[in-house]
Structure 1
Amino acid sequence: MERKSTKIAIIGAGISGLVAAITLEKEGFAPTIFEASDSIGGRVKTDLLDGYQLDHGFQVLLDAYPMAQKYLDYGQLEFQKFLSGAQVFHKGKSAIIGDPLRNLSLLFPTLTSGIGTFGDKFKVLKLNATLKEKSLEEIFEEPETSTLEYLKSLNFSEEIINQFFKPFFSGIFLEPNLATSSRMFQFVYKMFGAGLAVLPKAGIGAIPNQLQQNLKATQFIFNCPVESCTDEKITLSDGKAAFFDYKIIATDASPLVPNLRKQHLDWHTSDTLYFTPKGRNIDKPLIGLIADPDALINNIFYHTSLETAQKGAAELLSVTVVKDHELTEYELVQRLKEDLHQFCGITTERYLKQYQIKKALPKLTDIRYSLTPSETRLTENVFLAGDYLLNGSLNAAMLSGEMAAKGVLEVLEKRN
C-alpha cells in the first residue's frame, strides 16, 4: 500500500474519529480530520469554569468496556471510582441501595433501605449471576424488547422498578420510560457487574485528550463544518471542495450524504446543569436518584465527592434532566432549585452553567454489539463510523471507528 500518497479524510473528531485515526496511523497512514467545532471529543468534553471541571452532561466510563481497555491507558487517566450503588430520594426521605459484594459498607443500608422486597433482592443476585455467565455476543443475539418489559418479565416489583431501575437507567439511557432495548440494559448491567463506573481525575474530556496524544501524523482542521460527502469530494460549508481518496464519516452521516438524507436519525436529548450547593448531603461517591414522578430531575451527583484535577472554592453539584420540557434556561434553573429543595433538601448558592445536549444518544432499535470492516462501507470510497451504527456507548464508538479504518485498509489491500 502506498501510504504517503493515499489521502484519507475523517469527518468528526469525536471518539470514533480519533480511534479511526489511531488505527490508520498504526498502518503508516496520515489522515486529515475535519471537525466542525473548535475542539476534539464530540459529545465527550470537559470545560473549566472558575476552577470547576464541568463535563458536557453527567458522564461516566464503565472500565469493563473491552474497547476502552484496548485503547486507553487507565493509569494515566487516574480513574476515580464511584461506589456501586445509589442514594434514592423518595417522598421526602432518602435511602442507600447498592452492591454489598463490592463494598461491605453498603450491606446494612441496602438491607434496611425499604426499597424493593426480599424477593427483589434475590432476583437481583440471580440477574447478576445470569449476566455474568452470558457472553456479549449472546446478549446481542437475544430477542429485543424494552428494558421495562424485560424487568417485568423477571417479575421485579413495581416498587423497585420505579424507585431504582427507572431513575438509575434513565440517567444512562437518557429517556425516562425505559423504552431502550433490553439488549442495551443487559450489556450495561453486565459491564457494571464486571467492573466499576469511573471518571478520569481531569474529567471525562481526558479520554479524547489521551487518544489525541497518541496521534503523531494526523492533521486536524477545526471550525470546518462539512456540507456534503461523495466518492469524489468533500464539500465544506464555505463552498470549497477537498479531494481525498477515502473518507470516513465519524458523525451522523444522514445530513452529509445525498442518498441518506431521508434516513433521519432521531436522538435523545438531556440537560445537565451545575450548581454550587450549601454543603453536601451525600457523603460518599454515590449517584443520587430522584424517584418521585413529579420531579423533573432524574439524578444528581456531587463531583466534589471524587478527587478532581481542578477544584473550585465550593461543593459542585450536577443535576441531570432527561424528561422533555419547554422551559427557558431561567425557568429551568428556578424549577430545579425548587425540586432540589423539595425532593432532596438541597439549597443551592450559585448556578454555574447549563449543557443542553440535543444529540446526546441515538434512538436505536435492533441494536448490535459489533460489525465487520466491510459493513462500514457505504459507497466505493466512503465509510461510516459512530456509535449509532451499533449501540449508544463509548465502547461502540471506539469499535465502529476501528472497523471503519480497517474497512479502508481492506479495500486498499485488495486494490494494491
Structure 2
Amino acid sequence: SSAPAKTGVVVVGGGLAGLAAAIRLQEEKVPYVLLEASDGVGGRVRTDFVDGFTLDRGFQIFITAYPEARKLIDYETLDLQRFYSGATVFFDGGFHTVADPLRHLSDALRSLANPVGTAVDKFLIGLTRIRVTAFSDEEIFRGDDSKTIELLNRIGFSDSILDRFFRPFFGGIFFDPELETTSRLFNFVFKCLALGDSTLPKNGISAIPEQLAAKLDPGSIRLNSRVISIDSDSENNTVLKLHNGEILQPSLGTILAVEESEALALLSVEAPPKKPFRSTVCIYFSTDAAKVPTDDPILFLNGSSHGIVNNMFFATNVAPSYAPPGKALVSVSLIGSYPDVEDEELADRVLNELGCWFGDEAVSSWSLLKIYRIDYAQPNQSPPSELLKDPKVREGLYVCGDYVANATFDGALVSGRRAAEALLK
C-alpha cells in the first residue's frame, strides 16, 4: 500500500466541537485537516430546506448567554429571532403562562394565581434565578451533583409545578422528563436562560456551524470523508484509515470530535455499561399562516402528564423566515424514539392530541412535512457526572464533544477548544 499521507493535526468530525477545535488550532497557526463523514458541517446541528420551509433536525434553541458561544459567534450576522421568556402550559383543558418576572412583570403577576404551581412556587423560581446567577460556571460544574428532580424537591417546589412546568420544560431541553439529569446542568442552563434570550437564527440552526466553518481555511475541511479505523503503527504513530482506503498519519496529533458511541468504536474501547442515550422525535407540519391559532412566539408545554407531545411551538411566530410567504411552520417534540410506531400513525396521534389543545378545526388543516427521529440527541448526563473531563486519551490523541463537557451547544464548543489546547501543550 502507498505510504500514509503525512498531515499536522487531524480533527475527526465537523460538529460544533470539531469546528471549535479547528478554530483554536488555526489561531495558533497549527496545520490541520478536518474530516467530516457527512455532506455538511454541524453534526447534530443541521437544517434541511424543504419547499421553502426551514427544518432544523430536531428541536434546538440557541441561548444567547452561552459564554463560549459569545466568544466565537457573531450574533448580529445570525439575525437571531427571539422566543418569549417563559412558556405556556396546556393543562386541564386550558392554557396558563409562566413568565420571567424580570422581563414580563405584568404577565408574571397575572400568572401568580394560575394552577401551574402555587404562588410560593413562583417565588421559589425567582429565588432559584438569583441563586444560579450568583455562581460562576466553574462553581456550578464542580458543585452539587444530584439529580435535578432531587434538587427541585430540596428547594421545596410543589408536585404541581414539577409536573406541569419543570418536567415538560427542562425535560424538553434534556430529553429527560424524569429529570434525572445532573443538577449541575440544570443550574447552568437555568442561569443561561435567566441571563440570555432563547432564539432561532433567521436562516436555521445550521447557520451556527456554518458561521464557524467560514472562519476556517476552506482547503482544510474535507466533507464525505469517513474515518473507519484509528490504529498505531510499529513506531506507535497514530494511523487513520478512511472509507475510501486512504491512510493519513497525523504528525501533530488527532482530535476525535465524534459522538461518544462512535469514538468508542473507532478506538476499539470496550464500552463501559452505558446510561441510555436521550432520544427525541421532532414532527413538522405546515398550515396557512391565517389559520395559526396564536401569534405568540412562545413555547407550549404539555402539563397534563399524559399524551405523547412534550412541547411544541409555531416556529414562524418566532422566525417568520422558517416558512414561505403565507405559510406557517408547526414544530412538535416528543421524548423517546417511538421505534414501533410508523410515521403516519405518530403524526395522527399528535394531531388528535393537539386538536384537544387548539380545537380540531384549527388543527385539521395541518399537513405533515417531515418527521425526524433522533436516536442519539444527547448523551445521558445523570449523576455521577463529570462535566469537565480530561480530553487526553493518550499521547497525541484527544477527544471532544458534548459528552466530554456538557450536553449543550456551549459544552460542545468548550470541549473542542479544550481538546485543542491540551494538544497544543
**Distance apart, 1:106 and its partner CA:** 2.1
The letter of the residue matching 1:40 is V
Q: C-alpha distance in 2, partners of 1:154/1:263? A: 32
Structure 2 portions without partners, runs of 5+:
1-5, 233-237
* Residue pairs, 1:156-305, within 5 angstroms: 156-216=157-217, 218-231=219-232, 232-245=238-251, 246-251=253-258, 252=260, 253-261=263-271, 266-277=276-287, 279-305=291-317
The residue aligned with 2:402 is 387
The residue aligned with 1:414 is none
SS at match of 1:32: strand
Q: C-alpha distance in 2, partners of 1:261/1:255? A: 8
TM-score, length of structure 2 as denominator length:
0.90
The letter of the residue matching 1:341 is G
TM-score, length of structure 1 as denominator length:
0.92
Q: C-alpha distance in 2, partners of 1:51/1:114? A: 40
The residue aligned with 1:322 is 335
- Answer yes or no: is the 8 Å Cα contact 2:170–2:179 preserved in 1: yes
- Answer yes or no: is the 8 Å Cα contact 2:322–2:329 preserved in 1: no
Q: C-alpha distance in 1, partners of 2:346/2:413? A: 34
Structure 1 portions without partners, runs of 5+:
411-416
* Residue pairs, 1:8-407, within 5 angstroms: 8-216=9-217, 218-231=219-232, 232-245=238-251, 246-251=253-258, 252=260, 253-261=263-271, 266-277=276-287, 279-309=291-321, 311-312=323-324, 313-323=326-336, 325=338, 326-345=340-359, 346-347=362-363, 348-364=365-381, 365-370=383-388, 375-407=390-422
Aligned length: 403
RMSD: 1.9
**Distance apart, 1:319 and its partner CA:** 0.3
Q: Which runs of 4+ in 1 moved over 6 A?
A: none
Q: C-alpha distance in 2, partners of 1:256/1:6? A: 19
**Distance apart, 1:65 and its partner CA:** 0.8
Q: C-alpha distance in 1, partners of 2:139/2:322? A: 42
Q: C-alpha distance in 2, partners of 1:255/1:286? A: 40
The letter of the residue matching 1:249 is L
- Answer yes or no: is the 8 Å Cα contact 2:81–2:200 preserved in 1: yes
- Answer yes or no: is the 8 Å Cα contact 1:270–1:358 preserved in 2: yes
> Is the alpha carbon distance of 1:282 and 1:170 closer, same or farther for their aligned partners in structure 2, counting shifts above 3 Å?
farther
Q: C-alpha distance in 2, partners of 1:13/1:265? A: 25
Identity %: 34
The letter of the residue matching 2:74 is D
Q: C-alpha distance in 2, partners of 1:351/1:334? A: 9
- Alignment deviations for residues 269-316 of structure 1 (CA, whole Å, 9 cap, x no partner): 100010024622332111000112221000001111123445324111
Q: C-alpha distance in 2, partners of 1:109/1:314? A: 32
The letter of the residue matching 1:315 is A
SS at match of 1:243: strand
